[in-house]
Structure 1
Amino acid sequence: MSAELVPRQSSEVSTARHDPRDDWPDEARRLRDQLADLYGDQDPLPNAAGAWCARQKSAHTRRAYARNLLRWEAYARKSTIHPLQAKLPLADAYANHLAQLPGRDGGTLSESGQAQALAAAGSFYDYAVRIQVVETNPFTHVERPFVDPDYSPTEGLTETEVDKLITTARGWAPRSYALVTLLYLLGTRIDETLALNVTDLGYDRGHRTLPLRRKGGKKQPVPVPPIVIDALQSYLGDRTEGPLFITGTGERWMQTGVWKHLRVLARAAGIPGAANIKPHTLRHQFITDNLAENVPLERVQDAVGHSDPRTTQRYNRRRRALDDHPAYGLAARLAARLEGSGD
């Protein structure tokens, strides 16, 4: 006779009900709370949005998706339409609205920015359909802007400008120097960099390493050159735990602070494009300078964690350098032929 399963009675066993939302990442809980403040706890939108955000693999993606969903929600609410009742005409109007928004560096929002906003909204509705909160995705048939796979809006630096930026950072503060050398010599994304902790510094067969969490959540250890290790050790001093990069109050350094600081450094270095410099500028420069030194494309691609070599080439600033344009070589050969025929 089988024993009957009886719940164990113990004063140590908690009878408190567990809320699964407590297991969501911070970004998902914040998104849920922001929407709950607007629509109330009984509306299905806040929990659906929070659960969708929680499914994204990286904190960077969760922040970007939450930001773009809130942008869409604000547009729908201003149009007096509940986001879960939106149809294709409103989604089409939103796409037109995005094309008129101001961009971060002047002008209008880039095509890639528009595409990302539409992709985030579409991703949410795909999830909402799957959990049966809505019947259809209003963004399924919205026309996406064309994004040139060979174009990147990030402005490049000259070799002299890179040297000036690093020299300025070295004289500014140990944290500045450690940040700039790491971004340039490792080609990391800023979210990967700021997610690192002091205890992440490790060893692997004679190399000092840092484990980067790439897009999609995959981990990749990268070697850290001696110049970066020296800069980090000078910055960290006796600190053995906590975030790798911190603010003056000991909090983890956030992206907005890094953006501002890099532009301060760039202005101090006398770089003409200082107002547009950003962490990604140094990632672009890592790719450009390595390819210019004839490092094989596949090695650079692997170093920066790109799944497609075309993405790596898109970042290559010298790919379209006018100095090497084939028109010059063709013109020189034509001039030689014409000169020869004249003889």
Structure 2
Amino acid sequence: MSNNSEVIKDFVYYLQAERELSPNTVNAYKRDILPFLNEVGKELNDITRDDLLNYISKLKSSNYSTSSIARKLSSLRMFFSFYIGEGLLLESPIDNIESPRLKRKLPTVLSASEVENLIESINGNSTFSIRDRAILELMYGCGLRISELLNLYLEDLFLKEDFIRVKGKGSKERIVPLGSKAKSAVMNYITNARMELDKNSSTYLFLTRNGNKLSRVGLWKNFRKYVLQSGIKKNVTPHTLRHSFATHLLEGGASLRTVQILLGHSDISTTQVYTHIDRSYLRDIVSSYHPRG
């Protein structure tokens, strides 16, 4: 196919401008679609159902997992659908191809006591201990994604009102209540640690020893250290704290709808947060149902 770069360019622009997907998500679509286009080597209108079936067969013989194949097919389905919408395709060659059935994998979740052990494994009151306690308390207490935590600015904190402003996927903002433990840890960090790290007048909340924005790699490295220190045997990641946040709220009696909003899932807009859910109600939910609220 001679114009792969142009074809994918139009689709990528659609994902960025109209779907407002994050750069990581857009790159994932590209990684799913470009190998197929390069493999078949045909113009868009010449791609057939057999081309797709042969590609799926090749993926299976190359030991790709069922979930990986299903994800690639989902990306290709959206890709072809886009060009039908643009009037460049009459029909999608993938329409009558079923995705492989996936076994539903439940996320790893820590118990409330395991979360407690993880946070308490951060020893001492050094600048970095204070910072890292605030990080773990915020991730668990507010159900934050790694990127959301790392991209927090000082201006996103509303400590008097017990809220933080979070910029989620697709640059969508949401307001999340700040539980008592998380608030205390963040205030301790700002008062007793952050000033020692802020060598460049940064506006980011969490900083490195050089005064730069904390990186994803740096967060992961520290997190692994604390997991080992805590003695937790489960296969956990920073995202496990987000899963635990949601699970513990639901177990405590919070509604699924409320937890959806607090997590900032893509099907709930910022407007709905402000219009349909009262902020004081959200704060009461976290205070009542979250173990560290």
Q: Same fold (TM over 0.5)?
A: yes
Q: CA offsets per residue over residues 265-305 of structure 1, 9 Å max, x none?
A: 212221112xx312221112112222333334443343223
Contact 1:52/1:124 (8 A) holds in 2: no
Sequence identity, in percent?
23
Gaps of 5+ in 2: 269-293
1:131 pairs, out of 86, 93, 99, with 86
Q: CA offsets per residue over residues 135-167 of structure 1, 9 Å max, x none?
A: 54333333123346xx44422223332122111
Contact 1:209/1:223 (8 A) holds in 2: yes
1:51 and 2:10 aligned: no
2:99 pairs, out of 133, 144, 153, with 144
Over the aligned positions, Cα root-mean-square deviation in angstroms equals 3.5
1:302 pairs, out of 261, 273, 281, with 261
Counterparts of 1:253 and 1:162, CA distance in 2: 22
1:185 pairs, out of 128, 133, 141, with 141
Counterparts of 1:233 and 1:266, CA distance in 2: 24
Larger relative contact order, structure 1 or 2 (CA cutoff 8 Å, min sep 6):
2
2:112 pairs, out of 133, 153, 159, with 159
1:225 pairs, out of 179, 185, 191, with 179
1:176 and 2:132 aligned: yes
Partner-residue secondary structure (3-state), 2:204: coil
Counterparts of 1:48 and 1:142, CA distance in 2: 24
Contact 1:155/1:277 (8 A) holds in 2: yes
Q: 1:137 to 1:241 in 2, by over 3 A?
A: farther
1:284 and 2:284 aligned: no
Aligned to 1:81: 41
Q: CA offsets per residue over residues 14-72 of structure 1, 9 Å max, x none?
A: xxxxxxxxxxxxxxxxxxxxxxxx978x9523532431232354554x42232232233
Partner-residue secondary structure (3-state), 1:210: strand
Query: Structure 1 length as normaliser, TM-score?
Result: 0.61
Gaps of 5+ in 1: 1-37, 103-107, 309-343
Q: CA deviation at 1:259?
A: 3.8
Counterparts of 1:200 and 1:253, CA distance in 2: 16
Question: Larger radius of gyration, structure 1 or 2?
Answer: 1
**Which amino acid in structure 1 is aligned with residue 76 of structure 2?**
A
Contact 1:170/1:177 (8 A) holds in 2: no
Alignment of 1:41-120 (within 5 A): 44-55=6-17, 57-60=19-22, 62-77=23-38, 79=39, 81-82=41-42, 84=44, 86-96=47-57, 109=65, 111=67, 113-120=68-75
